[in-house]
Amino acid sequence: MTAKRTKQAVLEQEFLSLRAKILELAAGLDRLDRAAGQRPDDGRPDQLDRAMRLLLDAGPARAERIQLVFSRDYDETWRLQFSV
Amino acid sequence: MYYIDPHIHMVSRTTDDYETLAKMGCVGVSEPAFWAGYDRGSAAGFRDYFEQLTAFEPKRAGWFGIQHYTWLCINAKEAENVVLARDVIAMIPQFLDRPGVLGIGEIGLNKNTRNEAIVFLEHIDLAMKTNEQILIHTPHLEDKYQGTRMILDMLTADSRIDRSRVLVDHVEEHTIRPVLEGGFWAGMTLYPVSKCTPQRAADMVEIYGPERLLVNSAGDWGPSKPTAVADFILEMRKRGHPEGLIRRVVYDNPLEFFGQSRNFAFAAPDV
């Protein structure tokens, strides 16, 4: 049912876009480095570090795993705690 | 290609946007009740809003040949006020038989609080008593995974619910699988920064197939692109996907899902 592109085709179509996004990330991190003050310790810089390390992991599902880095934990006992 | 946008807030868009949508091939829009960007002060405010959704917006859409449908609720953000929420829920039945009203939505969670969960359950109860379809908003960003799991817990615990009549919207990579595996419909929202892109939505169609999947723009008063569904169509074409697959997601699937509502009357374009 769905067309399946080759890896070569995906690279041809997406290389420049991926390159641009990596540069955006790099420039954003450079901005953070150049900014005054200490690195905030509110957890977000660590989230960024963990997310970026996942980019270099072997797949699959990097996007899904990175989404979970930026997500609050789910507690299956929430209904008991809320009495709902 | 003709398409239907299953989730767009036209009340916050100019009339020019209807014209642009019509030129892009949009023939139908489904507009859930949502947060206007401020907290309304009374149930009377919601009455006026429901009047706008059910009477004026269909007329405005009709100027450009677009068929307009709507959903009613008090949204998750304002649901934190349980007293107000109950007044609004009590009023909703007065509007449910109006032409084009498809059901209860977009209900859901925002910050995943107890009050929000209480109001969500009371909306579900109303929907079950009046046999309505349900359209669900899942929270933004860091709250999405937790909130979606909580929503699915509440839905699956209620044996009255026909899961094929429920759309769980704004799914992303970490929430789509439990929604689909639960037997619900899943909506992918093409909204800048805080939600999905046409490329990632195309990825999810490739991974999960087109069954029970919808794409929408959720165009609203924030930075958004009401023509985003057309962007998805183009992305799918660039990847070489057949027209039949694309049409299934952007036209046939919305018709199949909405066709389960008693007030859904759709005049298909003459092709």
Question: For residue A67, which residues of chain B lie inside 8 Å, CB to CB?
Answer: 144-145, 172-174
- Residue A43 falls within a domain, yes or no? yes
The pLDDT confidence band at residue A2, using thresholds 50, 70 and 90, is low
Over residues B73-89, mean pLDDT? 96
CA distance B167 to B132: 12
Residue B5 contacts residue B29 (beta carbons within 8 Å): yes
pLDDT of residue A38 exceeding 90, the answer is yes
Number of neighbouring beta carbons within 10 Å of residue B257: 24
- Residue A19 falls within a domain, yes or no? yes
Min Cα distance A68 → chain B (Å) is 7
| ipTM of predicted assembly, 2 dp | 0.91
Beta bridge partners of B31: B70
Min Cα distance A16 → chain B (Å) is 15
Q: Which of B218, B253, B161, B171 is nearest to B30 (CA)?
A: B218
CB pairs under 8 A between A and B: 60
B240–A5 CB contact, under 8 Å: yes
In tens, the pLDDT along B12-41 reads: 999 999 999 999 999 999 999 999 999 999
Percentage of the residues of chain B whose pLDDT score is greater than 90: 97
Min Cα distance B208 → chain A (Å) is 10
- Residue A18 falls within a domain, yes or no? yes
Min Cα distance B159 → chain A (Å) is 16
B121–A84 CB contact, under 8 Å: yes
pTM for the full predicted model: 0.96
Residue of B nearest to A83 (CA): B114
B173–A1 CB contact, under 8 Å: no
Going from the C-alpha of A41 to that of each of A44, A46, A49, A73, B33, the distances in angstroms are 7, 8, 13, 19, 38
B145–A67 CB contact, under 8 Å: yes
CA distance B258 to A3: 28
pLDDT of residue A1 exceeding 60, the answer is no
pLDDT of residue B271 exceeding 80, the answer is no
B174–A74 CB contact, under 8 Å: no
The pLDDT confidence band at residue B193, using thresholds 50, 70 and 90, is confident
Percentage of the residues of chain B whose pLDDT score is greater than 70: 100
- Residue A1 falls within a domain, yes or no? no
CA distance B9 to B33: 8
Task: Determine contact: B202 vs chain A, CB below 8 A.
Answer: no
User: Which CATH architecture is the domain B3-258 placed in?
Assistant: Alpha-Beta Barrel (3.20)
Question: For residue B144, which residues of chain A lie inside 8 Å, CB to CB?
Answer: 67, 71
Beta bridge partners of B213: B186
- Diameter over CA atoms, chain A: 54
Domains held by chain A: number: 1
Task: Determine contact: A61 vs chain B, CB below 8 A.
Answer: yes
pLDDT of residue B120 exceeding 90, the answer is yes
- Residue A72 falls within a domain, yes or no? yes
Three-state DSSP class for residue B213: strand
Question: For residue B172, which residues of chain A lie inside 8 Å, CB to CB?
Answer: 67
Question: For residue B245, which residues of chain A lie inside 8 Å, CB to CB?
Answer: 1-2
Question: For residue A5, which residues of chain B lie inside 8 Å, CB to CB?
Answer: 239-240
Average pLDDT value for chain B:
97
Min Cα distance B180 → chain A (Å) is 15
Strand segments, DSSP code E, in chain B are: 3-5, 26-31, 67-72, 101-108, 133-137, 166-169, 185-189, 213-216
